[in-house]
Amino acid sequence: MLYISTRGQTRPHTFTEAVEAGLAPDGGLFLPENLPNLAAALPGWAGLSYSELAAEFFQHFAPEIPAEEWRQLTAEAYTRFDDPQIAPLRTLDERTRVLELWHGPTLAFKDFALQLLGLLYKRQVRLTGKKLAVLGATSGDTGSAAIHGCMGQDGIRIFILYPDGRVAPLQERQMACTGADNVFAIPVPGTFDDAQRVVKDCFGDAGFVAQVNLSAVNSINIARVLAQCVYYLWAWLRLPESERATAEFVVPTGNFGNVLAGWLAARMGMTCGGFRVATNRNDILWRFFETGEYRQGEVHPSHAPSMDIQAASNFERYLYYLLEGDQERVRSLMLRLREGHHLTLPRPPAGLRASRMDDTAIVKTIARVWNQYGYVVDPHTACAFIDLAPDRVSVILSTASPAKFPEVVAEATGSEPRHPTLEALKSRPLQRHPLDATAAAVKSFIVSQL
């Protein structure tokens, strides 16, 4: 299995090479050259534990890592989760299931990929003897999950940029209060998209990338997308067989990484009833699904900050499939977008739709779900709770613990959710490394820390 770039100007990479590079050298994103067909194998995986399922799945994508090593990697990756099911599927009523993806160390779904990615980096450092500088931008949850995947690992330093004042205070604490000396939490002025641009600019400097052995840890790393496929398969296998073909997955969406993983799993043979992209007031994707026009607007802060994005980086992977693998066209469209143009694209294929929810509705929805089911959801998950299909099962992906967003949840339900992991952070000192939002400032900081 080899990995190609969405933009077609990169030689095929192995899984290990693609993980190490993060972004493809031509500026595109890596994708498997061909997707395996897992339809025949899937039903036989119903009896596997979560980490066994992940090991089976990854063997199709990285045959260069032996099966036994995959089993060790996935077993270790999911040890720090506080539910024996890893991703428990709750039943709220006959048609409404919730897949809880927040039982990992940072209480959001990003741990599924980043606990594993930290171990893949560690494996790489061991095999190559070369130290790694890991760089990423975050709107909140990616950064803390990446930090918790890499902290304390020998030979790895991790640098995470985030928009100053625009991540939730507890999210900042998860990044800046680890006490680990290989972790650098870097607030920059502006929005998430500004921070992301600085990261992309750093990766655009090939000399610098080689000098510090730079690796990308935002949602563009292909290992993250693949690791996220596993919980879709896991949830699908937990549904009664009669419900699998029609169940709709509903996915709170920002960078499009989570829902893309499910959509890829469906293309690999997980026959289901489709996907709904649930956005907050930053509704570029909703507008695209309504009109076919992909037009970036301003980013507005919302109650669901991890979805405050107007430049969904994984959208490029979707575009590759939408344009039937025409890499030249993907490349020219992405360049047009970067120049500030909007794109008019083919209509999405059947089985994909979108919804949006503003802040007022988020608070009302948290209250309604609490009153109706006695179940508390966080503001991101709340965005999924509208427009549920009346006639079939919805599997709602719950992307964060409500305890990460105590103010909004308390406004809706009257009581503040708490979690011991987060309580412990409140008394620890913040270690912030503020920088200007320029590649020059970030590059020289990284060099000074090696």
Which one of 27, 254, 273, 406 is in contact with ligand PLP (CB under 6 A)? 254
Contacts (Cβ under 8 Å, ≥6 apart) of 372? none
> In 91-240, which ranges are continuous DSSP H helix?
111-128, 141-150, 169-176, 192-203, 206-212, 222-238
Q: Is 258 in the site for ligand PLP (CB under 6 A)?
A: yes
Closest approach, Cβ 141 to ligand PLP, in A, equals 3
Q: Is 252 in the site for ligand PLP (CB under 6 A)?
A: yes
In this structure, the strands spanning 183-188 and 156-163 are: parallel
Binding pattern to ligand PLP, positions 203-242, x when CB under 6 A?
----------------x-----------------------
**CB distance 376 to 402 below 8 Å:** yes
Query: Within positions 55 to 114, which residues make up the interface with ligand PLP, using CB under 6 A?
Result: 108, 110
Contacts (Cβ under 8 Å, ≥6 apart) of 272? 236, 244, 245, 246, 247, 248, 249, 266
Closest approach, Cβ 306 to ligand PLP, in A, equals 3
CA distance 174 to 411: 23
CA distance 376 to 39: 35
Closest CA to 140 of 384, 324, 401: 401
Which of 77, 168 has the CB closer to ligand PLP? Answer: 168
Which of 100, 141 has the CB closer to ligand PLP? Answer: 141
Which of 124, 255 has the CB closer to ligand PLP? Answer: 255
Which of 195, 446 has the CB closer to ligand PLP? Answer: 195
Closest approach, Cβ 154 to ligand PLP, in A, equals 28
Which of 257, 274 has the CB closer to ligand PLP? Answer: 257
Q: Is 330 in the site for ligand PLP (CB under 6 A)?
A: no
Give DSSP secondary structure letters for 211-246: HHTEEE-STT-HHHHHHHHHHHHHHHHHS-HHHHTT
Q: Is 399 in the site for ligand PLP (CB under 6 A)?
A: yes
Closest approach, Cβ 106 to ligand PLP, in A, equals 9
Closest approach, Cβ 379 to ligand PLP, in A, equals 8
Binding pattern to ligand PLP, positions 370-389, x when CB under 6 A?
----------x---------
Which one of 366, 400, 422, 439 is in contact with ligand PLP (CB under 6 A)? 400
Q: Is 47 exposed, middle or buried (0-12, 13-18, 19+ CB in 10 A)?
A: exposed
> In 292-391, which ranges are continuous DSSP H helix?
315-322, 327-338, 359-373, 379-382
Closest CA to 318 of 357, 351, 272, 360: 351
Query: Within positions 286 to 315, which residues make up the interface with ligand PLP, using CB under 6 A?
Result: 306-307
Q: Is 15 in the site for ligand PLP (CB under 6 A)?
A: no
Cβ atoms within 10 A of the Cβ of 167, count? 25
**CB distance 106 to 170 below 8 Å:** no
Query: Within positions 157 to 186, which residues make up the interface with ligand PLP, using CB under 6 A?
Result: none
Which of 114, 212 has the CB closer to ligand PLP? Answer: 114
Catalytic residue among 110, 122, 404, 443: 110
Closest approach, Cβ 186 to ligand PLP, in A, equals 19
- Give the torsion through C-alpha atoms of 257, 259, 262, 267, to 10 deg: -90
Closest approach, Cβ 255 to ligand PLP, in A, equals 3
Q: Is 371 exposed, middle or buried (0-12, 13-18, 19+ CB in 10 A)?
A: exposed
Closest approach, Cβ 212 to ligand PLP, in A, equals 26
Which of 425, 441 has the CB closer to ligand PLP? Answer: 425
Give DSSP secondary structure letters for 386-406: SS--TTS-EEEEE-B-GGGSH
Active site residue 110: yes
Please give the residue ranges that form the binding site for ligand PLP (CB under 6 A).
108, 110, 141, 219, 252-258, 306-307, 380, 399-400
Residues identified as active-site: 110
